[in-house]
Amino acid sequence: MTLARLRAWITRTPFRTPVTWTAGGTEDAAVHLWLELTGPDGVTGLSETPVKPAWTGLDGATALAAVEHLVAQRLLGRVPASAEAALADIRGLPVLRAAVGHALADLRAPGAAAAAQVAAVLTRADPAAMAEAAARAATDHGIHALKVKAGQGRDLDARALVLVREALGADGPMSVDANGAYDVEEGLALCRAAATVGAAFVEDPWPLAPDAATERALSAALCAVAVDRAAGDETTVPGLIDRGVAWIAVKPNRIGPDAARRIAATARAAGIGVVSGLFGEGPLGAVQQLRADTGDAPCEAVHHLTLRDPVPVAGLTLADGRLSAPPGRASDLVSVADVADRAVGGWEAAA
């Protein structure tokens, strides 16, 4: 099966309210790259991938340019395995491999149904507002697991953790994520605060690396530590495990489904927990995330709830804190015409 046609679009979907990220600043909309690959029999595979400079190195315009100048020439006219191998010679920009990887998986076969208990991610805000968001997640969607974004400073972080724990209740699963905002001293202080409220782990409390300095710092942490950013390169994962991290974050929409599964397998083989982490997903991105790996902690796959009127996926449901994705190809679950109508840019080519 050779790839006969490629189409790409960029959509811009407003957030219900502006979102402030620890890494990436404040945004009022989410930008996604949509990639459709068509085989010689007319069957298509479709993917949705977030693009934002602070996370992926690309914005909407440069993502389309990358599809035109880097991706298309390596895909069109090739069989899928050859196309993926050709993409591997592009240094950096794993988001391109993620977009292609999900689209090829969708092209090869209809995806299976998948489901998981989910965690809502509370982005940075006033601590009282974060607690209110925790309460709404439970009331509106039955979500009783939370990740709390930190990085606002020791006092505000500690206050947010206390208020969110009160809103969540004593038994609700909770984790913390600083996105590497702190140095080791402040990161260890965050770990102490997280341990006080019973958080399962702190993700990237300071920039982690597979080195002796990280090993020494981890030995002093009072809470389990998860690694995210440094685990985006699967070659570093064994070294991070050797240095003492307790959890590995996998993000299928950052690195692609196959790389995410390999990282998850490496972690589990070493007895390390896997977190299926948020990466700015819309509804189809959430389906891709569930199908790749749901993790060993509540899955962070409900970012699309923060979007106002995103492109819907037929049959994607959330009830009692459990997100369920239907079986089928994305082209059967998503209206490509709707994507094209909403697009703020697009590009296509044939073999």
Tell me what the mean pLDDT of segment 149-153 comes to. 97
* Reported confidence tier of residue 218, pLDDT bands at 50, 70, 90: very high
Per the CB < 8 A criterion, the answer to whether 31 and 282 are in contact is: no
* Reported confidence tier of residue 18, pLDDT bands at 50, 70, 90: very high
The CATH code that applies to domain 114-327 is 3.20.20.120
Domain boundary assignment for the chain: 5-111+331-350, 114-327
- Would you say residue 24 has pLDDT above 90? no
Mean of per-residue pLDDT scores for the chain: 97
- Would you say residue 242 has pLDDT above 90? yes
Tell me what the mean pLDDT of segment 47-66 comes to. 97
Other C-beta atoms closer than 10 Å to the C-beta of 85 total 12
Q: Is the pTM of this model over 0.85?
A: yes
Tokens representing 331 are 């082209």
Tell me what the mean pLDDT of segment 309-322 comes to. 98
Task: Name the 3-class secondary structure at 204.
Answer: coil
- Tell me what pLDDT residue 36 has: 98
Q: Which residues pair with 114 in a beta bridge?
A: 325
Query: What percent of the chain is modeled with pLDDT above 90?
Result: 94
- Would you say residue 163 has pLDDT above 90? yes
Alpha helices in the chain (DSSP H): 53-56, 60-66, 72-75, 80-87, 94-108, 127-141, 154-168, 184-196, 212-220, 237-243, 252-255, 257-269, 283-292, 330-333, 336-342
Which H helix or E strand runs over 20? strand 5-21
- Tell me what pLDDT residue 74 has: 95
Residues 6+ apart with CB under 8 A from 129: none
Cβ neighbourhood burial of 38 (10 Å; 0-12, 13-18, 19+): buried
Rg of the chain over CA atoms, in angstroms? 20
Tell me what the mean pLDDT of segment 323-330 comes to. 98
Fold exhibited by the domain 5-111+331-350: Enolase-like; domain 1 (3.30.390)
- Tell me what pLDDT residue 216 has: 98
- Tell me what pLDDT residue 1 has: 82
Q: How many CA atoms lie within 13 A of 311 on its CB side?
A: 32
- Tell me what pLDDT residue 22 has: 86
Query: How many angstroms separate the CA atoms of 339 and 158, rounded?
Result: 42
Tell me what the mean pLDDT of segment 44-57 comes to. 97
Q: Which residues pair with 325 in a beta bridge?
A: 114
The closest of 274, 219, 286 to 248, measured between CA atoms, is 274
Query: What percent of the chain is modeled with pLDDT above 70?
Result: 100
* Reported confidence tier of residue 26, pLDDT bands at 50, 70, 90: very high
Q: Tell me: the pLDDT tens digits for 106-143?
A: 999 999 999 999 999 999 999 999 999 999 999 999 99
Tell me what the mean pLDDT of segment 250-269 comes to. 97
Other C-beta atoms closer than 10 Å to the C-beta of 211 total 11
Tell me what the mean pLDDT of segment 303-321 comes to. 98
Query: How many angstroms separate the CA atoms of 221 and 200, rounded?
Result: 13
- Would you say residue 81 has pLDDT above 90? no
Per the CB < 8 A criterion, the answer to whether 98 and 255 are in contact is: yes
* Reported confidence tier of residue 38, pLDDT bands at 50, 70, 90: very high
Tell me what the mean pLDDT of segment 275-280 comes to. 97
- Tell me what pLDDT residue 83 has: 83
